[in-house]
Amino acid sequence: MKEIDEILLEVKEKLKASLPLEELIQLRNAYLLKKGKLQLLMGKMKDLSIEERKSFGKEINDAKAALEALFEEKIKEKEAQKLNEMLENEKVDITLPGVSHFSGYQNPFFKVQREIEEIFIGMGYEVANGPEVDKDHYVFELLNIPKNHPARDMQDTLYIDEETLLRSHTSAVQAHVMQNSNGKPIKIICPGKTYRRDDDDMTHSHQFAQVEGLVIDKNINLGNLKSTLELFAQKMFSKDAKVRFRSSFFPFTEPSVEVDVSCFNCHGRGCPICKGSGWIEILGAGMVNPNVLRMNGYDPDVYSGFAFGIGIERVAMLRYGINDIRKFYQNDIRFLSDFNKKVED
């Protein structure tokens, strides 16, 4: 019993000193592990009587519990002290200026969208926005595409239910604006995302963006459309750009045209970008169909108009030599960094 008391006193004396955490753990092991000082006393039990063993075993266990409590308290104190020291050393003064910073890069998609918007705003257009999830009535019917019309097969539409869909063109915004215009003149562009059922590859995406334009007023003609698009091409691509019209079909317009711009790289001489033709197809356009005017509250005998649709990604790919439409949406910092460096150069 005397040896047990001596061990307890010995440990208490040693714990009065401010020992480092590592030494505390070593000290605990020296007394409490299997071959520790306290545990070695258990070997003397073989020399005791049965009654003495009971009493001695209880004293050993009580001493062990007391030592474990002492060491646990001291170790927790040291761990808390060490944590506080670490937190104090790692404390950040948020009033100090940053030692370094990382600048983001401009996505060519948004750069081109803003440029297109600025060009048309400079021509007196207003920017109109509308819902990306819209009703069939606005996406198709008010644009001269009734149910069961063959032109609906051109759209590969993503329906939510029979009357609700992800818009397949931003012409739906034009329908909203016409319905709310009370038959007054309109001069708008409608930038935004559109959706169609398509397999994603280098030149196709189920999500893409358009800037569609609409002008309705008295005495609007095809010459107004051509001069508008030629001015856009000159500001967007090169100052000597020309446009040409090729006959096409869109239910929303009549007559309808595909619009080519003279190659900004070779200026019409022929190169790989224009595939040797000297021209690049960039958009579709035409005069607003009289049926569309009539359905949306305009008298086609008094008012006329033109409309056009520009693919933002297509313009960006042509202008900057980007060969994969998916790069616009992948947020790859390497692509964005390389693009901005090329633009700066």
pLDDT class of 129 with cuts at 50, 70, 90: very high
* Least confident segment among 104-108, 112-116, 181-185: 104-108
Same-domain pairing of 67 and 121: no
Domain limit, last residue, from 90, 121, 143: 90
Considering 50-54, 102-106, 255-259, 318-322, the range whose residues carry the highest mean pLDDT is 255-259
The predicted structure's pLDDT at residue 126 = 96
Query: Does 23 share its domain with 131?
Result: no
> Quick one: pLDDT at residue 43?
67
60/119 same-domain check: no
Predicted confidence at residue 290, as pLDDT, reads 96
**Whether residue 232 sits in one domain with residue 338:** yes
CATH, residue 332: 3.30.930.10
What pLDDT shows up at residue 55? 76
| pLDDT value, residue 215 | 97
Quick one: pLDDT at residue 268? Answer: 74
Peptide bond into 272 cis (omega under 30): no
Sign of the alpha-carbon torsion through 320, 323, 329, 335: negative
Cα 286 from chain centre = 34
Confidence (pLDDT) at 153 = 67
Give the pLDDT of residue 342: 65
Question: 27: pLDDT confidence band, cut at 50, 70 and 90?
Answer: confident
Residues 68 and 166 grouped into a single domain: no
Q: Helix (H) and strand (E) counts for the chain? A: 11, 10
DSSP 139: H
What pLDDT score does 78 carry?
82
**116, containing H or E segment:** helix 108-122
The pLDDT score that the predictor gives to residue 154 is 59
Look up residue 147 and give its two tokens. Answer: 């149910």
Same domain flag for 151 and 191: yes
Which residue, among 248, 249, 246, has the nearest Cα to 150 in the 3D structure?
249
268-292 per-position pLDDT tens digit: 778 877 788 889 888 999 999 999 9
* 3-state percent helix, strand, coil for the chain, nearest multiple of 5: 45, 20, 35
Q: What is the span of the domain harbouring residue 325? A: 108-344
Q: Please indicate, yes or no, whether residues 81 and 217 belong to a single structural domain of this protein.
A: no
In a domain, 163, yes or no: yes
- Do 48 and 126 sit in the same domain of this protein? no
Cα–Cα distances in angstroms (integers) from residue 322 to residues 39, 259, 314, in the given order:
77, 21, 9
pLDDT confidence of residue 127: 96
Please give the DSSP secondary-structure letter assigned to residue 272: T
What pLDDT is recorded for position 142?
A: 94
Task: Please name which of 124, 144, 177, 170 lies closest in space to residue 294, comparing C-alpha atoms.
Answer: 144
pTM of this prediction? 0.67
* Domain final residue, candidates 90, 125, 154: 90
Say if residue 59's pLDDT is above 90: no
Choose the most confident range, by mean pLDDT, from 18-22, 91-95, 120-124, 325-329.
120-124
Residue 59, both tokens: 């004293």
State whether 244 and 309 are in the same domain: yes
Range ranked top by mean pLDDT from 1-10, 19-28, 37-46, 130-139: 130-139
The residues near 199 (Cβ < 8 Å, ≥ 6 apart) are 206
Residue bearing the bigger pLDDT, 303 or 337? 303
144-170 pLDDT, tens per residue? 988 887 767 656 888 898 889 999 999
Same domain, 216 and 308: yes
Q: What percent of the chain has pLDDT over 70?
A: 93
Mean pLDDT of all residues in 202-224: 91
User: What average pLDDT does this structure show over 16-29?
Assistant: 79
Cross-strand partners of 283: 259, 310
* pLDDT above 60: residue 345: no
Domain count, the chain: 2
Report whether pLDDT(179) > 60. yes
* CA–CA separation, 284 and 272 (whole Å): 23
